[in-house]
Protein backbone atom coordinates (compact mmCIF):
# COMPACT_ATOMS: atom_id res chain seq x y z
CA UNK A 1 0.00 0.00 0.00
CA UNK A 2 1.37 3.42 -0.96
CA UNK A 3 1.66 6.44 1.38
CA UNK A 4 1.12 4.57 4.63
CA UNK A 5 1.60 7.58 6.94
CA UNK A 6 0.08 11.04 7.03
CA UNK A 7 2.41 14.04 6.89
CA UNK A 8 1.73 17.54 8.21
CA UNK A 9 2.64 19.84 5.35
CA UNK A 10 3.47 23.56 5.42
CA UNK A 11 4.38 25.51 2.28
CA UNK A 12 6.92 28.25 2.89
CA UNK A 13 7.68 31.13 0.52
CA UNK A 14 11.40 31.76 0.96
CA UNK A 15 12.12 34.75 -1.26
CA UNK A 16 11.01 35.45 -4.79
CA UNK A 17 12.16 36.75 -8.15
CA UNK A 18 10.39 38.55 -11.00
CA UNK A 19 10.21 37.71 -14.71
CA UNK A 20 7.85 38.50 -17.56
CA UNK A 21 5.19 35.78 -17.51
CA UNK A 22 5.56 35.06 -21.23
CA UNK A 23 9.11 33.77 -20.68
CA UNK A 24 7.84 30.97 -18.44
CA UNK A 25 4.44 30.34 -20.04
CA UNK A 26 3.70 30.34 -23.76
CA UNK A 27 1.12 33.05 -24.44
CA UNK A 28 1.61 34.61 -21.01
CA UNK A 29 1.51 38.29 -20.17
CA UNK A 30 4.33 40.68 -21.02
CA UNK A 31 4.17 42.11 -17.50
CA UNK A 32 6.69 40.92 -14.91
CA UNK A 33 5.15 38.81 -12.14
CA UNK A 34 6.39 37.34 -8.87
CA UNK A 35 7.76 33.80 -8.84
CA UNK A 36 7.94 32.68 -5.20
CA UNK A 37 10.63 30.21 -4.15
CA UNK A 38 9.06 27.26 -2.36
CA UNK A 39 10.34 25.28 0.55
CA UNK A 40 8.02 22.62 1.95
CA UNK A 41 8.17 21.67 5.62
CA UNK A 42 7.17 18.05 6.19
CA UNK A 43 6.45 17.17 9.82
CA UNK A 44 6.88 13.41 9.88
CA UNK A 45 5.29 11.59 12.86
CA UNK A 46 8.54 9.87 13.80
CA UNK A 47 11.37 11.39 11.72
CA UNK A 48 10.57 14.96 12.75
CA UNK A 49 11.04 18.10 10.62
CA UNK A 50 12.09 17.47 7.02
CA UNK A 51 12.48 20.09 4.31
CA UNK A 52 11.87 19.74 0.60
CA UNK A 53 14.29 22.36 -0.74
CA UNK A 54 15.19 25.59 1.05
CA UNK A 55 14.33 28.50 -1.24
CA UNK A 56 16.68 31.48 -1.31
CA UNK A 57 19.01 32.71 1.44
CA UNK A 58 21.00 35.87 2.03
CA UNK A 59 24.10 33.91 0.94
CA UNK A 60 22.84 34.07 -2.65
CA UNK A 61 24.07 37.67 -2.79
CA UNK A 62 27.67 36.87 -1.87
CA UNK A 63 27.67 33.75 -4.06
CA UNK A 64 26.71 35.89 -7.07
CA UNK A 65 29.08 38.78 -6.33
CA UNK A 66 32.00 37.58 -8.53
CA UNK A 67 31.95 37.15 -12.31
CA UNK A 68 30.64 35.05 -14.06
CA UNK A 69 28.31 34.12 -11.18
CA UNK A 70 27.00 37.71 -11.17
CA UNK A 71 25.18 36.91 -14.42
CA UNK A 72 22.86 34.68 -12.39
CA UNK A 73 21.88 37.72 -10.29
CA UNK A 74 21.30 39.85 -13.38
CA UNK A 75 19.07 37.25 -15.01
CA UNK A 76 17.25 36.39 -11.76
CA UNK A 77 16.79 39.47 -9.56
CA UNK A 78 15.95 38.17 -6.08
CA UNK A 79 13.90 39.75 -3.29
CA UNK A 80 14.26 38.22 0.18
CA UNK A 81 12.66 40.29 2.96
CA UNK A 82 13.46 39.37 6.55
CA UNK A 83 10.06 37.80 7.19
CA UNK A 84 10.46 35.44 4.23
CA UNK A 85 13.81 33.99 5.28
CA UNK A 86 13.81 30.30 6.09
CA UNK A 87 14.64 30.78 9.77
CA UNK A 88 11.77 33.23 10.22
CA UNK A 89 9.33 30.93 8.42
CA UNK A 90 10.30 27.93 10.53
CA UNK A 91 10.25 30.04 13.68
CA UNK A 92 6.53 30.71 13.18
CA UNK A 93 6.07 27.00 13.71
CA UNK A 94 8.36 26.74 16.72
CA UNK A 95 11.13 25.03 14.74
CA UNK A 96 14.77 26.13 14.75
CA UNK A 97 17.07 25.73 11.77
CA UNK A 98 19.08 23.21 13.78
CA UNK A 99 15.97 21.05 14.32
CA UNK A 100 15.75 20.07 10.65
CA UNK A 101 17.15 16.55 10.31
CA UNK A 102 16.87 15.98 6.57
CA UNK A 103 16.57 17.96 3.33
CA UNK A 104 15.10 16.37 0.22
CA UNK A 105 16.77 18.23 -2.64
CA UNK A 106 14.74 18.49 -5.82
CA UNK A 107 17.78 19.71 -7.78
CA UNK A 108 20.85 21.83 -7.18
CA UNK A 109 19.76 25.16 -8.68
CA UNK A 110 20.41 28.11 -6.38
CA UNK A 111 16.78 28.88 -5.57
CA UNK A 112 16.38 25.35 -4.21
CA UNK A 113 19.57 24.92 -2.16
CA UNK A 114 20.66 28.40 -1.06
CA UNK A 115 19.73 27.67 2.57
CA UNK A 116 21.62 24.39 2.99
CA UNK A 117 24.50 26.01 4.90
CA UNK A 118 22.00 27.26 7.50
CA UNK A 119 20.96 23.70 8.43
CA UNK A 120 23.88 22.26 10.41
CA UNK A 121 22.06 19.17 11.67
CA UNK A 122 20.59 18.01 8.37
CA UNK A 123 21.50 15.19 6.05
CA UNK A 124 20.73 15.52 2.35
CA UNK A 125 18.97 13.30 -0.19
CA UNK A 126 19.25 13.91 -3.94
CA UNK A 127 19.15 11.97 -7.19
CA UNK A 128 22.49 10.82 -8.57
CA UNK A 129 21.95 12.42 -12.00
CA UNK A 130 21.69 15.91 -10.59
CA UNK A 131 24.64 15.46 -8.25
CA UNK A 132 26.91 14.17 -11.03
CA UNK A 133 25.89 17.01 -13.34
CA UNK A 134 26.89 19.69 -10.82
CA UNK A 135 29.49 18.66 -8.26
CA UNK A 136 33.02 19.57 -9.28
CA UNK A 137 31.84 22.21 -11.76
CA UNK A 138 32.98 25.80 -11.33
CA UNK A 139 32.81 29.06 -13.25
CA UNK A 140 31.03 28.94 -16.58
CA UNK A 141 30.47 25.18 -16.43
CA UNK A 142 28.61 25.53 -13.14
CA UNK A 143 26.73 28.67 -14.17
CA UNK A 144 25.24 27.13 -17.30
CA UNK A 145 23.76 24.44 -15.04
CA UNK A 146 22.26 27.00 -12.65
CA UNK A 147 24.67 25.81 -9.97
CA UNK A 148 26.53 28.01 -7.48
CA UNK A 149 29.14 25.89 -5.66
CA UNK A 150 29.51 28.48 -2.88
CA UNK A 151 25.99 27.68 -1.68
CA UNK A 152 26.83 24.12 -0.65
CA UNK A 153 28.26 23.30 2.79
CA UNK A 154 31.92 22.23 2.64
CA UNK A 155 30.93 18.79 3.97
CA UNK A 156 28.07 18.37 1.49
CA UNK A 157 29.38 15.05 0.03
CA UNK A 158 29.73 13.53 3.50
CA UNK A 159 26.16 14.49 4.41
CA UNK A 160 24.66 13.37 1.10
CA UNK A 161 22.79 10.13 0.47
CA UNK A 162 21.55 9.14 -2.98
CA UNK A 163 17.86 8.65 -3.61
CA UNK A 164 18.73 6.05 -6.26
CA UNK A 165 19.98 3.73 -3.52
CA UNK A 166 16.66 3.74 -1.64
CA UNK A 167 14.13 0.87 -2.14
CA UNK A 168 12.28 1.02 -5.46
CA UNK A 169 8.48 1.09 -5.26
CA UNK A 170 6.08 0.02 -8.02
CA UNK A 171 3.51 2.82 -8.14
CA UNK A 172 0.90 0.83 -10.05
CA UNK A 173 -1.39 1.88 -12.92
CA UNK A 174 -3.18 4.60 -10.92
CA UNK A 175 -0.02 6.74 -11.03
CA UNK A 176 0.88 6.21 -14.69
CA UNK A 177 2.82 7.37 -16.60
CA UNK A 178 5.07 7.50 -13.51
CA UNK A 179 5.77 3.81 -12.95
CA UNK A 180 8.24 3.66 -10.07
CA UNK A 181 9.40 5.74 -7.15
CA UNK A 182 11.84 5.51 -4.25
CA UNK A 183 10.86 4.91 -0.63
CA UNK A 184 12.80 7.83 0.82
CA UNK A 185 12.47 6.96 4.52
CA UNK A 186 11.83 3.23 4.24
CA UNK A 187 8.32 3.47 5.71
CA UNK A 188 6.20 4.25 2.66
CA UNK A 189 5.45 7.80 3.81
CA UNK A 190 7.48 9.81 1.27
CA UNK A 191 8.01 8.56 -2.25
CA UNK A 192 10.64 10.12 -4.49
CA UNK A 193 9.48 10.52 -8.12
CA UNK A 194 12.05 11.34 -10.83
CA UNK A 195 10.86 14.33 -12.90
CA UNK A 196 13.67 14.87 -15.43
CA UNK A 197 14.00 17.63 -17.99
CA UNK A 198 14.46 20.92 -16.19
CA UNK A 199 17.51 19.33 -14.60
CA UNK A 200 19.06 15.95 -15.45
CA UNK A 201 17.09 14.02 -12.83
CA UNK A 202 15.04 16.30 -10.48
CA UNK A 203 13.26 14.81 -7.50
CA UNK A 204 9.54 15.16 -6.94
CA UNK A 205 8.02 13.94 -3.68
CA UNK A 206 4.68 12.19 -3.31
CA UNK A 207 2.98 12.21 0.11
CA UNK A 208 -0.41 12.19 1.82
CA UNK A 209 -1.27 15.04 4.18
CA UNK A 210 -2.90 14.82 7.59
CA UNK A 211 -6.21 15.78 5.99
CA UNK A 212 -5.81 12.73 3.70
CA UNK A 213 -5.01 14.62 0.50
CA UNK A 214 -2.41 13.24 -1.92
CA UNK A 215 0.25 15.79 -2.85
CA UNK A 216 3.02 15.80 -5.44
CA UNK A 217 5.74 18.35 -4.75
CA UNK A 218 6.75 18.89 -8.37
CA UNK A 219 9.70 21.35 -8.17
CA UNK A 220 10.41 22.91 -11.59
CA UNK A 221 8.77 20.21 -13.70
CA UNK A 222 6.43 23.11 -14.42
CA UNK A 223 6.54 26.75 -13.33
CA UNK A 224 2.82 27.25 -12.80
CA UNK A 225 -0.45 25.37 -12.34
CA UNK A 226 -1.58 26.70 -15.72
CA UNK A 227 1.34 24.92 -17.36
CA UNK A 228 0.26 21.43 -16.29
CA UNK A 229 -3.49 22.15 -16.49
CA UNK A 230 -3.30 23.55 -20.03
CA UNK A 231 -0.19 21.78 -21.30
CA UNK A 232 1.53 25.13 -21.96
CA UNK A 233 5.29 25.12 -22.38
CA UNK A 234 7.75 27.90 -21.55
CA UNK A 235 8.87 30.31 -24.25
CA UNK A 236 11.70 29.32 -26.57
CA UNK A 237 13.76 32.00 -24.79
CA UNK A 238 13.77 29.82 -21.66
CA UNK A 239 14.87 26.59 -23.36
CA UNK A 240 18.60 27.05 -22.67
CA UNK A 241 17.73 26.75 -18.96
CA UNK A 242 16.65 23.12 -19.39
CA UNK A 243 18.92 20.10 -19.22
CA UNK A 244 16.81 18.13 -21.72
CA UNK A 245 13.88 19.74 -23.54
CA UNK A 246 12.37 16.43 -24.69
CA UNK A 247 12.42 15.04 -21.15
CA UNK A 248 10.83 18.24 -19.90
CA UNK A 249 7.98 17.95 -22.40
CA UNK A 250 7.43 14.30 -21.46
CA UNK A 251 7.39 15.13 -17.76
CA UNK A 252 4.93 18.00 -18.21
CA UNK A 253 2.65 15.81 -20.33
CA UNK A 254 2.91 13.12 -17.67
CA UNK A 255 1.77 15.53 -14.96
CA UNK A 256 -1.26 16.48 -17.02
CA UNK A 257 -2.12 12.84 -17.64
CA UNK A 258 -1.70 12.02 -13.95
CA UNK A 259 -3.92 14.93 -12.92
CA UNK A 260 -6.68 13.59 -15.17
CA UNK A 261 -6.41 10.18 -13.55
CA UNK A 262 -6.06 11.52 -9.99
CA UNK A 263 -8.37 14.57 -9.72
CA UNK A 264 -7.82 14.86 -5.95
CA UNK A 265 -4.03 15.08 -6.36
CA UNK A 266 -2.52 18.47 -5.51
CA UNK A 267 0.40 19.17 -7.86
CA UNK A 268 2.60 21.85 -6.31
CA UNK A 269 5.20 23.57 -8.52
CA UNK A 270 7.96 25.42 -6.71
CA UNK A 271 7.30 28.86 -8.21
CA UNK A 272 3.54 29.18 -8.66
CA UNK A 273 1.99 32.05 -6.70
CA UNK A 274 -1.51 30.75 -7.51
CA UNK A 275 -0.77 27.36 -5.98
CA UNK A 276 0.87 28.76 -2.87
CA UNK A 277 -2.04 31.14 -2.30
CA UNK A 278 -4.69 28.47 -2.70
CA UNK A 279 -3.15 25.43 -1.02
CA UNK A 280 -1.88 24.94 2.47
CA UNK A 281 -3.71 22.70 4.94
CA UNK A 282 -1.79 24.45 7.74
CA UNK A 283 -1.27 28.11 6.70
CA UNK A 284 1.05 30.30 8.74
CA UNK A 285 -0.64 33.23 10.44
CA UNK A 286 0.76 36.32 8.74
CA UNK A 287 2.94 34.04 6.60
CA UNK A 288 2.99 33.09 2.95
CA UNK A 289 -0.50 31.60 2.77
- The pLDDT, as a whole number, for residue 258 is 95
- Measured distance between the N- and C-terminal CA atoms of the chain, rounded to whole angstroms: 32
Indicate whether 209 pLDDT > 80. Answer: yes
Residue 284: predicted pLDDT: 53
The contacts of residue 281 (CB under 8 Å, 6+ apart) are: 8, 9, 209, 210, 211, 213
The predicted structure's pLDDT at residue 75: 82
Question: 152 pLDDT band (50/70/90 cuts)?
Answer: very high
According to the model, what pLDDT value does residue 89 have? Answer: 93
Residue 101 clears pLDDT 90, i.e. is over it: yes
**Is pLDDT above 80 for 130?**
yes
**259-278 confidence digits (pLDDT tens):** 999 999 999 999 988 888 88
C-alpha radius of gyration, the chain, whole number: 17
Residue 19 CB: number of other CB atoms within 10 A?
18
pLDDT at residue number 289: 34
Report the candidate in 265, 249, 287, 243 with the shortest Cα–Cα distance to residue 38.
287
**Residue 197, Ramachandran bin (φ over 0: left; ψ between -120 and 50: alpha; else beta):** left
What value does the mean pLDDT take over residues 9-20? Answer: 89
Mean pLDDT in residue range 226-255 = 89
Residue 288 above 50 pLDDT? no
For residue 22, the model assigns a pLDDT of 78
Give the mean pLDDT of 225-248: 88
Of residues 101 and 29, the one with the higher pLDDT is 101
Strands (E) located in 146-225? 160-162, 168-170, 180-183, 191-194, 203-208, 214-219
Please write the tens of the pLDDT for every residue from 172-200: 999 999 999 999 999 999 999 999 999 99
**Domains defined for the chain, CATH in brackets:** 8-278 (3.60.15.10)
* pLDDT tens readout for residues 25-75: 777 777 777 889 999 999 999 999 999 999 999 999 998 899 998 988 888
Torsion, Cα 56 183 281 257, to 10 degrees, reads 90
Mean pLDDT for all residues in the chain: 90
Amino acid sequence: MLLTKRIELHLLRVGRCRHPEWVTLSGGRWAAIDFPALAALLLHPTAGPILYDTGYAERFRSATAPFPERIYRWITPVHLPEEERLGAQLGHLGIALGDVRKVLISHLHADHVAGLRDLPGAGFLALRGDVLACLGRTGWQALRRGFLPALLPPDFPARLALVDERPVVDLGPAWAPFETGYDLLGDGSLLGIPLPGHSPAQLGVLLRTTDDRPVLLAADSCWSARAWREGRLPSIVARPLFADWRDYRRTLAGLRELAGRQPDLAIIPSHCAETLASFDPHPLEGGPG
